[in-house]
Amino acid sequence: MNPIVVTGTDTDIGKTVFAAALAGALGAHYWKPVQAGTDEHGRTDRNRVIELSGLPQDRFVPSAYDLATPASPHIAAEIDGVTIDPARLSLPGVEGPLVIEGAGGALVPLTRDLLYADMFAKWGAPVILVARTALGTINHSLLSIEALRSRGVPILGVAFVGDAVEDSEAIIAAMGKVKRLGRLPFVDPLDAATLSAAFRENFDLQDFRA
């Protein structure tokens, strides 16, 4: 198994779309450990990745927890009357690459005393930080990189999403001392074919292979 964690600097920045593109390009399995709620169309992140990755259903590992409330996992679980047990968040055994998608940012709480970044450290898998290119991304990205490094989490690199902002992308990579993996532009229309093409044009697949 070759796990890769996809986390973000914030919520709604394109992390799920990037995870779908990466999983599709690698022919990977996909796992969302904790799903909390759905989007405005009633879709989970897993549903979106199924739509956008072009992968068969057997590549999708069931979430350890499917929560109804759209919120941070710790409070969603409390509202739903569920206790999140970290032991159930052990990496699933699959053959080949496994793309693991977190929730929101790296410091999102899973419980009141466990952050996603703490689980990343326990897993020991390389992490891709997905960052937007819009105003504010330098601060959010560098803070996320520091938070991951302070826990000994290996960072594979940063993947940007959005319109090109050369200076912001360059300074994050330089000051954060991380690899600049590429930038996924906004894709319209967005479907499995257009997303796959955009990923191939803007990323080197060898950067993601173990």
Would you list which residues are annotated within the binding site for Mg(2+)?
Answer: 16, 45, 101
Q: Which one from 32, 122, 177, 179 is the annotated catalytic residue?
A: 32
137, containing H or E segment = helix 137-150
Q: Taking the mean position of all CA atoms in its chain, how far away is CA 73?
A: 15
- The residues facing 36 across adjacent strands are 67
Known binding-site positions:
12-17, 45, 101-104, 185-187
Known binding positions for ATP: 12-17, 45, 101-104, 185-187
Q: Contact, 6 vs 103, CB < 8 A?
A: no
Known active-site residue 32: yes
Query: CA 173 to CA 162: how far, in whole Å?
Result: 16
Task: Kindly report whether the peptide bond that precedes residue 62 is cis, defined as omega within 30 degrees of 0.
Answer: no
Place of tokens 């909390």: 36
List the catalytic residues: 32
